[in-house]
Structure 1
Protein backbone atom coordinates (compact mmCIF):
# COMPACT_ATOMS: atom_id res chain seq x y z
CA UNK A 1 0.00 0.00 0.00
CA UNK A 2 2.85 2.33 0.78
CA UNK A 3 4.39 1.67 -2.61
CA UNK A 4 1.08 2.28 -4.37
CA UNK A 5 0.67 5.58 -2.56
CA UNK A 6 4.09 6.73 -3.71
CA UNK A 7 3.22 5.71 -7.24
CA UNK A 8 -0.01 7.75 -7.14
CA UNK A 9 1.87 10.83 -5.99
CA UNK A 10 4.30 10.46 -8.85
CA UNK A 11 1.37 10.37 -11.34
CA UNK A 12 -0.03 13.64 -9.97
CA UNK A 13 3.32 15.35 -10.52
CA UNK A 14 3.42 14.13 -14.11
CA UNK A 15 -0.03 15.43 -14.93
CA UNK A 16 0.80 18.87 -13.53
CA UNK A 17 3.86 19.00 -15.76
CA UNK A 18 1.81 18.09 -18.85
CA UNK A 19 -0.32 21.25 -18.53
CA UNK A 20 2.67 23.59 -18.92
CA UNK A 21 3.26 23.02 -22.65
CA UNK A 22 -0.38 23.97 -23.31
CA UNK A 23 0.06 27.18 -21.36
CA UNK A 24 3.20 28.01 -23.32
CA UNK A 25 1.42 27.37 -26.62
CA UNK A 26 -1.42 29.79 -25.80
CA UNK A 27 1.10 32.39 -24.66
CA UNK A 28 2.76 32.33 -28.09
CA UNK A 29 -0.46 32.78 -30.07
CA UNK A 30 -0.19 35.19 -33.02
CA UNK A 31 -0.64 38.84 -32.14
CA UNK A 32 -3.67 40.82 -33.36
CA UNK A 33 -3.23 43.49 -36.02
CA UNK A 34 -2.38 47.10 -35.34
CA UNK A 35 -5.85 48.33 -36.28
CA UNK A 36 -8.93 47.37 -34.27
CA UNK A 37 -11.38 49.67 -36.07
CA UNK A 38 -11.70 51.85 -39.20
CA UNK A 39 -12.23 55.56 -39.65
CA UNK A 40 -15.28 56.97 -41.43
CA UNK A 41 -14.61 56.71 -45.18
CA UNK A 42 -16.49 59.71 -46.58
CA UNK A 43 -14.73 62.00 -44.13
CA UNK A 44 -11.28 60.71 -45.06
CA UNK A 45 -10.85 62.87 -48.18
CA UNK A 46 -10.45 66.63 -47.55
CA UNK A 47 -12.63 69.09 -49.46
CA UNK A 48 -9.55 70.60 -51.14
CA UNK A 49 -8.59 67.18 -52.54
CA UNK A 50 -12.13 66.50 -53.75
CA UNK A 51 -12.18 69.84 -55.59
CA UNK A 52 -9.02 68.78 -57.43
CA UNK A 53 -10.26 65.28 -58.25
CA UNK A 54 -13.82 66.34 -59.18
CA UNK A 55 -13.44 69.58 -61.17
CA UNK A 56 -17.03 69.38 -62.42
CA UNK A 57 -18.46 69.80 -58.92
CA UNK A 58 -17.37 73.44 -58.73
CA UNK A 59 -19.89 74.44 -61.42
CA UNK A 60 -22.87 72.83 -59.66
CA UNK A 61 -25.46 74.82 -57.69
CA UNK A 62 -24.44 75.12 -54.04
CA UNK A 63 -26.86 72.48 -52.76
CA UNK A 64 -25.80 69.92 -55.38
CA UNK A 65 -22.17 70.85 -54.83
CA UNK A 66 -22.42 70.05 -51.13
CA UNK A 67 -24.06 66.72 -51.91
CA UNK A 68 -21.33 65.87 -54.43
CA UNK A 69 -18.58 66.59 -51.89
CA UNK A 70 -20.29 64.62 -49.14
CA UNK A 71 -20.04 61.42 -51.14
CA UNK A 72 -22.11 58.25 -50.90
CA UNK A 73 -21.17 55.77 -48.19
CA UNK A 74 -20.93 52.11 -49.20
CA UNK A 75 -23.50 49.81 -47.63
CA UNK A 76 -21.78 47.77 -44.92
CA UNK A 77 -22.87 45.54 -42.07
CA UNK A 78 -19.79 45.95 -39.90
CA UNK A 79 -18.00 49.30 -40.03
CA UNK A 80 -15.13 47.90 -37.96
CA UNK A 81 -14.37 45.47 -40.77
CA UNK A 82 -15.14 47.36 -43.99
CA UNK A 83 -16.10 50.88 -45.06
CA UNK A 84 -16.13 52.74 -48.35
CA UNK A 85 -17.33 55.89 -50.11
CA UNK A 86 -17.78 57.19 -53.66
CA UNK A 87 -17.97 60.62 -55.27
CA UNK A 88 -18.97 61.58 -58.81
CA UNK A 89 -19.22 64.83 -60.78
CA UNK A 90 -19.39 65.81 -64.45
CA UNK A 91 -18.22 68.89 -66.33
CA UNK A 92 -18.59 69.88 -70.00
CA UNK A 93 -15.14 68.38 -70.61
CA UNK A 94 -15.33 65.09 -68.69
CA UNK A 95 -16.90 63.15 -65.85
CA UNK A 96 -14.90 61.91 -62.87
CA UNK A 97 -15.54 59.30 -60.23
CA UNK A 98 -13.62 58.49 -57.06
CA UNK A 99 -14.13 55.35 -54.96
CA UNK A 100 -12.23 54.43 -51.80
CA UNK A 101 -12.47 51.19 -49.82
CA UNK A 102 -10.99 50.23 -46.44
CA UNK A 103 -10.81 46.57 -45.38
CA UNK A 104 -9.58 45.48 -41.94
CA UNK A 105 -8.41 41.88 -42.16
CA UNK A 106 -8.86 39.62 -39.12
CA UNK A 107 -7.37 36.14 -38.80
CA UNK A 108 -9.53 33.62 -36.98
CA UNK A 109 -6.64 31.18 -36.76
CA UNK A 110 -4.77 31.72 -33.45
CA UNK A 111 -1.55 30.55 -35.09
CA UNK A 112 -1.76 33.14 -37.91
CA UNK A 113 -1.48 36.85 -37.17
CA UNK A 114 -3.81 39.46 -38.65
CA UNK A 115 -0.85 40.97 -40.51
CA UNK A 116 0.06 37.65 -42.10
CA UNK A 117 -3.52 37.07 -43.19
CA UNK A 118 -3.66 40.62 -44.59
CA UNK A 119 -0.52 39.89 -46.62
CA UNK A 120 -2.30 36.92 -48.18
CA UNK A 121 -5.42 38.96 -49.01
CA UNK A 122 -3.29 41.72 -50.51
CA UNK A 123 -1.25 39.23 -52.55
CA UNK A 124 -4.43 37.91 -54.20
CA UNK A 125 -5.38 41.45 -55.23
CA UNK A 126 -1.91 42.06 -56.63
CA UNK A 127 -2.00 38.78 -58.55
CA UNK A 128 -5.43 39.70 -59.92
CA UNK A 129 -3.89 42.82 -61.44
CA UNK A 130 -1.33 40.67 -63.33
CA UNK A 131 1.59 41.97 -61.32
CA UNK A 132 4.43 39.86 -59.96
CA UNK A 133 4.20 39.42 -56.15
CA UNK A 134 6.31 42.09 -54.48
CA UNK A 135 7.49 40.07 -51.47
CA UNK A 136 8.34 36.42 -50.70
CA UNK A 137 5.40 36.26 -48.29
CA UNK A 138 3.08 37.39 -51.05
CA UNK A 139 4.29 34.74 -53.47
CA UNK A 140 3.84 32.05 -50.86
CA UNK A 141 0.29 33.12 -50.28
CA UNK A 142 -0.86 32.08 -53.72
CA UNK A 143 -1.90 28.74 -52.25
CA UNK A 144 -3.74 30.27 -49.28
CA UNK A 145 -7.05 29.37 -50.85
CA UNK A 146 -6.30 25.71 -50.17
CA UNK A 147 -5.81 26.18 -46.44
CA UNK A 148 -9.07 24.42 -45.75
CA UNK A 149 -10.86 27.59 -44.66
CA UNK A 150 -13.73 28.65 -46.91
CA UNK A 151 -13.41 32.11 -48.41
CA UNK A 152 -16.01 34.67 -47.47
CA UNK A 153 -17.81 36.84 -50.03
CA UNK A 154 -16.19 40.25 -50.30
CA UNK A 155 -17.82 43.60 -51.00
CA UNK A 156 -17.13 43.33 -54.67
CA UNK A 157 -18.92 40.03 -55.05
CA UNK A 158 -15.67 38.12 -55.53
CA UNK A 159 -14.56 35.54 -52.95
CA UNK A 160 -12.98 37.08 -49.88
CA UNK A 161 -9.81 35.76 -48.30
CA UNK A 162 -9.86 36.65 -44.62
CA UNK A 163 -10.63 33.11 -43.53
CA UNK A 164 -13.98 33.93 -41.91
CA UNK A 165 -17.29 35.51 -42.85
CA UNK A 166 -16.68 39.16 -43.65
CA UNK A 167 -18.81 42.26 -43.56
CA UNK A 168 -20.62 42.60 -46.86
CA UNK A 169 -20.08 45.88 -48.69
CA UNK A 170 -22.09 46.78 -51.74
CA UNK A 171 -20.26 48.87 -54.31
CA UNK A 172 -21.68 52.41 -54.26
CA UNK A 173 -24.11 53.20 -57.03
CA UNK A 174 -22.43 54.17 -60.25
CA UNK A 175 -19.02 52.70 -59.40
CA UNK A 176 -16.98 51.60 -62.37
CA UNK A 177 -16.24 48.22 -60.89
CA UNK A 178 -17.12 46.22 -57.84
CA UNK A 179 -13.53 45.05 -57.34
CA UNK A 180 -10.27 46.94 -57.09
CA UNK A 181 -8.61 45.03 -59.92
CA UNK A 182 -9.65 44.91 -63.57
CA UNK A 183 -10.06 41.77 -65.69
CA UNK A 184 -6.74 40.33 -66.74
CA UNK A 185 -7.21 40.99 -70.47
CA UNK A 186 -8.08 44.63 -69.89
CA UNK A 187 -5.16 45.00 -67.51
CA UNK A 188 -2.79 43.46 -70.04
CA UNK A 189 -3.91 45.80 -72.83
CA UNK A 190 -3.68 48.75 -70.47
CA UNK A 191 -0.13 47.73 -69.60
CA UNK A 192 0.84 47.68 -73.28
CA UNK A 193 -0.68 51.08 -74.04
CA UNK A 194 0.61 52.68 -70.86
CA UNK A 195 4.13 51.40 -71.50
CA UNK A 196 4.24 53.43 -74.68
CA UNK A 197 3.84 56.58 -72.60
CA UNK A 198 6.97 55.80 -70.58
CA UNK A 199 6.93 54.15 -67.16
CA UNK A 200 3.19 54.44 -66.54
CA UNK A 201 2.35 50.75 -66.87
CA UNK A 202 0.63 48.89 -64.01
CA UNK A 203 3.35 48.26 -61.45
CA UNK A 204 4.36 47.60 -57.86
CA UNK A 205 4.90 50.75 -55.77
CA UNK A 206 7.56 50.94 -53.08
CA UNK A 207 6.58 54.22 -51.41
CA UNK A 208 3.16 53.41 -49.91
CA UNK A 209 2.52 51.52 -46.68
CA UNK A 210 3.93 48.01 -46.27
CA UNK A 211 3.12 46.99 -49.87
CA UNK A 212 1.33 48.66 -52.78
CA UNK A 213 0.60 48.45 -56.50
CA UNK A 214 -0.97 50.58 -59.22
CA UNK A 215 -3.22 49.39 -62.04
CA UNK A 216 -4.14 51.51 -65.09
CA UNK A 217 -6.93 50.39 -67.43
CA UNK A 218 -8.12 52.18 -70.57
CA UNK A 219 -11.43 50.84 -71.88
CA UNK A 220 -14.41 51.78 -74.04
CA UNK A 221 -18.09 51.02 -73.46
CA UNK A 222 -20.00 50.90 -76.75
CA UNK A 223 -19.83 54.16 -78.68
CA UNK A 224 -18.95 56.21 -75.59
CA UNK A 225 -15.57 57.84 -75.13
CA UNK A 226 -12.75 55.78 -73.71
CA UNK A 227 -12.57 55.91 -69.93
CA UNK A 228 -9.44 55.36 -67.87
CA UNK A 229 -9.47 53.90 -64.36
CA UNK A 230 -6.41 54.12 -62.14
CA UNK A 231 -6.45 51.93 -59.03
CA UNK A 232 -3.95 52.21 -56.19
CA UNK A 233 -4.07 49.41 -53.61
CA UNK A 234 -1.90 49.42 -50.51
CA UNK A 235 -1.58 47.52 -47.24
CA UNK A 236 -0.64 48.94 -43.85
CA UNK A 237 -0.45 46.24 -41.18
CA UNK A 238 -3.86 44.51 -41.25
CA UNK A 239 -5.72 47.19 -43.25
CA UNK A 240 -5.96 47.16 -47.06
CA UNK A 241 -7.01 50.35 -48.85
CA UNK A 242 -8.15 50.73 -52.46
CA UNK A 243 -8.31 54.08 -54.27
CA UNK A 244 -10.04 53.95 -57.67
CA UNK A 245 -10.14 57.10 -59.83
CA UNK A 246 -11.93 57.19 -63.21
CA UNK A 247 -12.18 59.83 -65.93
CA UNK A 248 -14.35 59.72 -69.07
CA UNK A 249 -14.04 62.60 -71.58
CA UNK A 250 -17.22 64.12 -72.97
CA UNK A 251 -15.97 63.75 -76.56
CA UNK A 252 -15.71 60.28 -78.07
CA UNK A 253 -12.23 61.07 -79.43
CA UNK A 254 -10.91 62.10 -76.03
CA UNK A 255 -8.36 59.97 -74.16
CA UNK A 256 -7.79 60.59 -70.42
CA UNK A 257 -4.24 61.48 -69.46
CA UNK A 258 -2.63 58.52 -67.68
CA UNK A 259 0.06 60.45 -65.79
CA UNK A 260 -2.38 63.02 -64.43
CA UNK A 261 -4.78 60.38 -63.09
CA UNK A 262 -1.95 58.31 -61.64
CA UNK A 263 -0.41 61.30 -59.87
CA UNK A 264 -3.73 62.28 -58.32
CA UNK A 265 -4.60 58.75 -57.22
CA UNK A 266 -1.17 58.22 -55.67
CA UNK A 267 -1.36 61.60 -53.94
CA UNK A 268 -4.64 60.64 -52.26
CA UNK A 269 -3.25 57.22 -51.32
CA UNK A 270 -0.30 58.89 -49.56
CA UNK A 271 -2.69 61.07 -47.60
CA UNK A 272 -4.66 58.01 -46.51
CA UNK A 273 -1.46 56.29 -45.39
CA UNK A 274 -0.65 59.32 -43.25
CA UNK A 275 -4.12 59.24 -41.71
CA UNK A 276 -3.74 55.58 -40.78
CA UNK A 277 -0.40 56.33 -39.14
CA UNK A 278 -1.75 59.20 -37.03
Structure 2
Protein backbone atom coordinates (compact mmCIF):
# COMPACT_ATOMS: atom_id res chain seq x y z
CA UNK A 1 0.00 0.00 0.00
CA UNK A 2 1.35 3.45 -0.98
CA UNK A 3 1.56 6.13 1.76
CA UNK A 4 0.80 9.82 1.17
CA UNK A 5 3.62 12.36 1.72
CA UNK A 6 3.31 14.58 4.81
CA UNK A 7 4.86 18.07 4.86
CA UNK A 8 5.15 19.39 8.47
CA UNK A 9 6.15 22.93 7.47
CA UNK A 10 3.12 23.42 5.22
CA UNK A 11 0.72 22.21 7.92
CA UNK A 12 2.21 24.64 10.40
CA UNK A 13 1.79 27.61 8.02
CA UNK A 14 -1.84 26.71 7.39
CA UNK A 15 -2.56 26.49 11.12
CA UNK A 16 -0.92 29.83 11.83
CA UNK A 17 -2.81 31.58 9.04
CA UNK A 18 -6.17 30.28 10.19
CA UNK A 19 -5.46 31.22 13.81
CA UNK A 20 -4.57 34.82 12.91
CA UNK A 21 -7.69 35.30 10.81
CA UNK A 22 -9.91 34.01 13.62
CA UNK A 23 -8.28 36.06 16.37
CA UNK A 24 -8.36 39.52 14.83
CA UNK A 25 -11.19 41.62 13.41
CA UNK A 26 -11.20 44.10 10.55
CA UNK A 27 -11.79 47.05 12.96
CA UNK A 28 -8.68 46.45 15.08
CA UNK A 29 -10.59 44.61 17.81
CA UNK A 30 -9.47 41.20 19.07
CA UNK A 31 -11.52 38.07 19.68
CA UNK A 32 -11.05 35.74 22.63
CA UNK A 33 -10.54 32.27 21.09
CA UNK A 34 -12.12 30.57 24.11
CA UNK A 35 -15.23 32.64 24.64
CA UNK A 36 -15.59 34.34 21.24
CA UNK A 37 -15.89 37.79 22.92
CA UNK A 38 -14.72 40.85 20.95
CA UNK A 39 -12.52 43.23 22.95
CA UNK A 40 -12.60 46.93 21.97
CA UNK A 41 -9.52 49.12 22.01
CA UNK A 42 -9.17 51.24 25.18
CA UNK A 43 -10.47 54.83 25.13
CA UNK A 44 -7.85 57.42 24.09
CA UNK A 45 -5.96 59.34 26.80
CA UNK A 46 -6.35 63.07 27.31
CA UNK A 47 -4.27 65.70 25.56
CA UNK A 48 -2.43 66.85 28.68
CA UNK A 49 -0.10 64.57 30.64
CA UNK A 50 1.26 67.24 33.04
CA UNK A 51 0.21 70.60 34.50
CA UNK A 52 1.95 73.99 34.41
CA UNK A 53 3.43 75.49 37.56
CA UNK A 54 0.45 77.59 38.77
CA UNK A 55 2.29 80.48 40.45
CA UNK A 56 4.30 81.06 37.26
CA UNK A 57 1.38 80.52 34.88
CA UNK A 58 -0.15 83.96 35.55
CA UNK A 59 1.73 86.77 33.80
CA UNK A 60 3.17 89.61 35.89
CA UNK A 61 1.17 92.15 33.84
CA UNK A 62 -2.04 90.32 34.78
CA UNK A 63 -1.11 90.28 38.47
CA UNK A 64 -0.39 94.01 38.40
CA UNK A 65 -3.93 94.66 37.16
CA UNK A 66 -5.59 92.31 39.64
CA UNK A 67 -3.42 93.18 42.67
CA UNK A 68 -3.18 96.98 42.46
CA UNK A 69 -1.88 97.46 46.00
CA UNK A 70 1.47 95.82 45.19
CA UNK A 71 2.48 98.85 43.09
CA UNK A 72 2.90 100.95 46.26
CA UNK A 73 5.11 98.38 48.00
CA UNK A 74 8.89 98.24 48.09
CA UNK A 75 10.37 96.15 45.28
CA UNK A 76 11.17 93.19 47.53
CA UNK A 77 7.68 93.17 49.07
CA UNK A 78 6.00 93.56 45.68
CA UNK A 79 8.04 90.68 44.26
CA UNK A 80 7.00 88.51 47.18
CA UNK A 81 3.32 89.34 46.64
CA UNK A 82 3.50 88.65 42.90
CA UNK A 83 5.23 85.31 43.58
CA UNK A 84 2.11 83.95 45.27
CA UNK A 85 1.82 80.94 47.54
CA UNK A 86 1.54 77.45 46.07
CA UNK A 87 -1.14 75.12 47.42
CA UNK A 88 0.01 71.95 49.13
CA UNK A 89 -0.39 69.01 46.78
CA UNK A 90 0.81 65.41 46.70
CA UNK A 91 0.64 64.86 42.94
CA UNK A 92 1.64 67.86 40.83
CA UNK A 93 0.68 66.00 37.65
CA UNK A 94 -2.93 65.75 38.79
CA UNK A 95 -3.74 68.97 40.69
CA UNK A 96 -1.94 72.21 41.54
CA UNK A 97 -2.95 75.68 42.70
CA UNK A 98 -1.67 79.09 43.76
CA UNK A 99 -3.08 82.03 45.71
CA UNK A 100 -2.32 85.72 46.09
CA UNK A 101 -3.44 88.35 48.60
CA UNK A 102 -3.34 92.13 48.12
CA UNK A 103 -4.12 94.56 50.96
CA UNK A 104 -4.59 98.33 50.76
CA UNK A 105 -6.27 100.97 52.91
CA UNK A 106 -9.39 100.59 50.76
CA UNK A 107 -9.75 96.83 50.92
CA UNK A 108 -8.41 93.35 50.29
CA UNK A 109 -8.24 91.39 47.05
CA UNK A 110 -7.68 87.65 46.88
CA UNK A 111 -6.87 85.66 43.77
CA UNK A 112 -6.64 81.89 43.45
CA UNK A 113 -6.08 79.58 40.48
CA UNK A 114 -6.56 75.81 40.43
CA UNK A 115 -5.50 73.35 37.69
CA UNK A 116 -6.98 69.85 37.74
CA UNK A 117 -5.98 67.15 35.25
CA UNK A 118 -8.61 64.43 35.06
CA UNK A 119 -7.69 60.80 34.40
CA UNK A 120 -10.28 58.11 33.70
CA UNK A 121 -9.64 54.72 35.25
CA UNK A 122 -12.40 53.14 33.15
CA UNK A 123 -10.86 51.81 29.91
CA UNK A 124 -14.14 52.43 28.08
CA UNK A 125 -14.33 56.11 29.11
CA UNK A 126 -11.81 58.60 27.73
CA UNK A 127 -10.11 61.23 29.88
CA UNK A 128 -11.96 63.94 27.96
CA UNK A 129 -15.35 62.33 28.59
CA UNK A 130 -14.54 61.94 32.29
CA UNK A 131 -13.51 65.62 32.41
CA UNK A 132 -16.72 66.65 30.72
CA UNK A 133 -18.75 64.79 33.35
CA UNK A 134 -16.86 66.46 36.21
CA UNK A 135 -17.21 69.89 34.60
CA UNK A 136 -20.97 69.35 34.19
CA UNK A 137 -21.26 68.75 37.95
CA UNK A 138 -19.43 72.01 38.68
CA UNK A 139 -21.67 73.89 36.28
CA UNK A 140 -24.79 72.38 37.84
CA UNK A 141 -23.58 73.41 41.31
CA UNK A 142 -23.35 77.02 40.10
CA UNK A 143 -27.14 77.06 39.47
CA UNK A 144 -26.85 78.86 36.15
CA UNK A 145 -30.15 80.35 34.99
CA UNK A 146 -31.84 78.77 32.01
CA UNK A 147 -31.55 80.82 28.79
CA UNK A 148 -34.48 83.14 28.24
CA UNK A 149 -36.34 83.33 24.97
CA UNK A 150 -35.75 86.65 23.22
CA UNK A 151 -39.07 86.52 21.35
CA UNK A 152 -41.93 88.33 23.16
CA UNK A 153 -45.24 86.54 23.53
CA UNK A 154 -47.48 87.31 20.53
CA UNK A 155 -51.03 88.55 21.24
CA UNK A 156 -54.02 86.38 20.39
CA UNK A 157 -55.08 86.93 16.74
CA UNK A 158 -58.79 86.81 17.48
CA UNK A 159 -61.12 88.50 19.92
CA UNK A 160 -61.32 92.12 21.07
CA UNK A 161 -58.75 93.40 23.56
CA UNK A 162 -59.72 92.92 27.16
CA UNK A 163 -60.91 96.07 28.83
CA UNK A 164 -59.35 96.83 32.19
CA UNK A 165 -61.54 96.06 35.16
CA UNK A 166 -61.99 98.29 38.14
CA UNK A 167 -59.29 96.41 40.00
CA UNK A 168 -56.92 96.41 37.02
CA UNK A 169 -56.39 92.65 37.29
CA UNK A 170 -56.76 92.11 33.55
CA UNK A 171 -54.02 94.57 32.61
CA UNK A 172 -50.80 92.89 31.46
CA UNK A 173 -47.73 93.41 33.66
CA UNK A 174 -45.17 95.89 32.39
CA UNK A 175 -41.58 94.63 31.97
CA UNK A 176 -38.97 96.80 33.60
CA UNK A 177 -35.28 97.14 32.89
CA UNK A 178 -34.42 97.17 36.56
CA UNK A 179 -36.02 96.39 39.87
CA UNK A 180 -37.87 93.22 40.76
CA UNK A 181 -41.28 91.69 40.44
CA UNK A 182 -43.51 91.90 43.45
CA UNK A 183 -42.33 89.65 46.20
CA UNK A 184 -39.66 87.87 44.09
CA UNK A 185 -36.67 90.19 44.42
CA UNK A 186 -35.60 89.20 40.86
CA UNK A 187 -35.20 91.83 38.14
CA UNK A 188 -37.40 91.47 35.07
CA UNK A 189 -35.91 92.56 31.76
CA UNK A 190 -37.72 93.63 28.66
CA UNK A 191 -37.61 90.76 26.14
CA UNK A 192 -34.64 90.84 23.81
CA UNK A 193 -32.59 93.36 25.82
CA UNK A 194 -28.97 92.23 26.22
CA UNK A 195 -27.31 92.51 29.60
CA UNK A 196 -23.78 93.68 30.27
CA UNK A 197 -21.54 91.89 32.82
CA UNK A 198 -22.50 94.50 35.41
CA UNK A 199 -26.15 93.55 35.09
CA UNK A 200 -27.48 96.65 33.29
CA UNK A 201 -29.15 96.46 29.86
CA UNK A 202 -26.73 97.37 27.07
CA UNK A 203 -27.74 100.21 24.74
CA UNK A 204 -28.43 99.56 21.09
CA UNK A 205 -29.78 96.03 21.48
CA UNK A 206 -26.55 94.30 20.39
CA UNK A 207 -24.35 91.72 22.04
CA UNK A 208 -25.11 88.43 23.81
CA UNK A 209 -28.32 88.18 25.74
CA UNK A 210 -28.06 86.78 29.26
CA UNK A 211 -30.59 86.31 32.02
CA UNK A 212 -30.04 87.67 35.51
CA UNK A 213 -30.05 85.27 38.40
CA UNK A 214 -32.20 85.94 41.43
CA UNK A 215 -30.62 88.70 43.47
CA UNK A 216 -29.93 88.41 47.16
CA UNK A 217 -30.94 92.03 47.61
CA UNK A 218 -27.36 93.27 47.91
CA UNK A 219 -26.94 94.31 44.29
CA UNK A 220 -30.12 93.83 42.19
CA UNK A 221 -29.26 92.74 38.67
CA UNK A 222 -25.52 92.43 39.43
CA UNK A 223 -25.30 88.71 40.15
CA UNK A 224 -25.41 86.93 36.84
CA UNK A 225 -24.01 83.42 36.65
CA UNK A 226 -23.88 82.48 32.96
CA UNK A 227 -22.14 80.32 30.41
CA UNK A 228 -19.27 81.83 28.44
CA UNK A 229 -18.47 81.17 24.81
CA UNK A 230 -15.06 81.12 23.17
CA UNK A 231 -13.20 80.07 26.31
CA UNK A 232 -11.77 76.55 26.08
CA UNK A 233 -14.19 73.71 25.33
CA UNK A 234 -16.76 75.01 27.84
CA UNK A 235 -16.83 77.75 30.48
CA UNK A 236 -19.06 79.59 32.93
CA UNK A 237 -18.83 82.54 35.32
CA UNK A 238 -20.34 82.91 38.78
CA UNK A 239 -20.77 86.15 40.73
CA UNK A 240 -21.66 86.24 44.43
CA UNK A 241 -21.95 89.40 46.53
CA UNK A 242 -22.52 89.96 50.24
CA UNK A 243 -23.23 93.11 52.20
CA UNK A 244 -21.87 94.04 55.59
CA UNK A 245 -22.64 91.47 58.24
CA UNK A 246 -23.43 88.67 55.75
CA UNK A 247 -20.06 86.99 55.51
CA UNK A 248 -17.79 89.88 54.56
CA UNK A 249 -17.21 91.11 58.09
CA UNK A 250 -18.52 94.13 59.96
CA UNK A 251 -18.66 97.20 57.75
CA UNK A 252 -17.37 95.33 54.70
CA UNK A 253 -19.02 94.52 51.39
CA UNK A 254 -17.56 91.63 49.42
CA UNK A 255 -17.86 90.18 45.93
CA UNK A 256 -16.40 86.91 44.61
CA UNK A 257 -16.20 86.18 40.90
CA UNK A 258 -15.41 82.63 39.77
CA UNK A 259 -14.53 81.55 36.23
CA UNK A 260 -14.35 77.83 35.42
CA UNK A 261 -13.33 76.46 32.03
CA UNK A 262 -12.48 73.07 30.55
CA UNK A 263 -9.87 72.35 27.89
CA UNK A 264 -9.52 68.68 26.91
CA UNK A 265 -8.83 66.79 30.16
CA UNK A 266 -7.98 69.82 32.34
CA UNK A 267 -10.36 71.98 34.40
CA UNK A 268 -9.18 75.45 35.42
CA UNK A 269 -10.86 77.42 38.23
CA UNK A 270 -10.15 81.11 38.86
CA UNK A 271 -11.55 82.81 41.96
CA UNK A 272 -11.19 86.58 42.33
CA UNK A 273 -12.58 88.26 45.47
CA UNK A 274 -12.65 91.90 46.55
CA UNK A 275 -13.62 93.09 50.03
CA UNK A 276 -14.05 96.70 51.14
CA UNK A 277 -12.41 97.62 54.43
CA UNK A 278 -14.42 100.57 55.74
CA UNK A 279 -17.40 100.59 53.40
CA UNK A 280 -20.46 98.40 53.23
CA UNK A 281 -20.65 98.98 49.46
CA UNK A 282 -20.23 95.84 47.39
CA UNK A 283 -17.25 96.07 44.96
CA UNK A 284 -18.06 96.60 41.30
CA UNK A 285 -19.11 93.45 39.46
CA UNK A 286 -18.12 94.57 35.97
CA UNK A 287 -14.49 95.27 36.86
CA UNK A 288 -13.92 91.96 38.65
CA UNK A 289 -15.62 89.92 35.94
CA UNK A 290 -13.67 91.55 33.13
CA UNK A 291 -10.35 90.98 34.89
CA UNK A 292 -11.15 87.35 35.76
CA UNK A 293 -12.25 86.60 32.19
CA UNK A 294 -9.14 88.28 30.76
CA UNK A 295 -6.95 86.12 32.99
CA UNK A 296 -8.84 83.00 31.89
CA UNK A 297 -8.31 83.90 28.23
CA UNK A 298 -4.55 84.19 28.73
CA UNK A 299 -4.44 80.83 30.50
CA UNK A 300 -6.32 79.18 27.62
CA UNK A 301 -3.69 80.51 25.23
CA UNK A 302 -0.96 78.91 27.32
CA UNK A 303 -2.65 75.52 27.22
CA UNK A 304 -3.05 75.82 23.44
CA UNK A 305 0.64 76.54 22.85
Match of 2:282 among 252, 255, 273: 255
Match of 1:85 among 98, 123, 142: 98
Q: In structure 1, how many angstroms separate the alpha carbons of the residues matched to 2:262 and 2:68?
A: 29
**TM-score, structure 1 as length reference:** 0.70
Q: In structure 2, how many angstroms separate the alpha carbons of the residues matched to 1:56 and 1:96?
A: 9
**1:211 matches 2:224:** no
> Radius of gyration: which is bigger?
2
Mapping of residues 2-13 of structure 1, within 5 Å: none
CA contact (8 A) 1:126 1:132 kept: no
Q: In structure 2, how many angstroms separate the alpha carbons of the residues matched to 1:238 and 1:61?
A: 40
- For residues 144-190 of structure 1, give each alpha carbon's deviation from its aligned partner in whole angstroms, at most 9, with x where no partner exists: xxxxxxxxxxxxxxxxxxxxxxxxxxxxxxxxxxxxxxxxxxx9655
Unaligned runs of 5+ in 1: 1-8, 135-186
Runs ≥4 in structure 1, deviation > 3 angstroms?
Answer: 9-19, 24-27, 187-195
Secondary structure at 2:44's aligned position in 1?
Answer: coil
Q: In structure 1, how many angstroms separate the alpha carbons of the residues matched to 2:285 and 2:47?
A: 34
CA contact (8 A) 1:38 1:104 kept: yes
For the aligned residues, what is the CA RMSD?
A: 2.8
Relative contact order (C-alpha < 8 Å, sep 6+): which is higher?
A: 1
Q: In structure 2, how many angstroms separate the alpha carbons of the residues matched to 1:266 and 1:20?
A: 50
- For residues 119-166 of structure 1, give each alpha carbon's deviation from its aligned partner in whole angstroms, at most 9, with x where no partner exists: 0010010011012699xxxxxxxxxxxxxxxxxxxxxxxxxxxxxxxx
Secondary structure at 1:272's aligned position in 2?
Answer: helix
Secondary structure at 2:53's aligned position in 1?
Answer: coil
The match for 1:196 is 221
CA contact (8 A) 1:190 1:217 kept: no
Residues 255 and 37 from structure 1, CA distance in 2 versus in 1: closer, same or farther, beyond 3 angstroms?
A: same
The match for 1:56 is 69
**1:269 matches 2:273:** no
More helix by percentage: 1
Q: In structure 2, how many angstroms separate the alpha carbons of the residues matched to 1:192 and 1:218?
A: 9
Bigger shift: residues 69-78 or 212-221: 212-221
| Number of aligned residues | 216
The match for 1:20 is 24
**TM-score, structure 2 as length reference:** 0.64
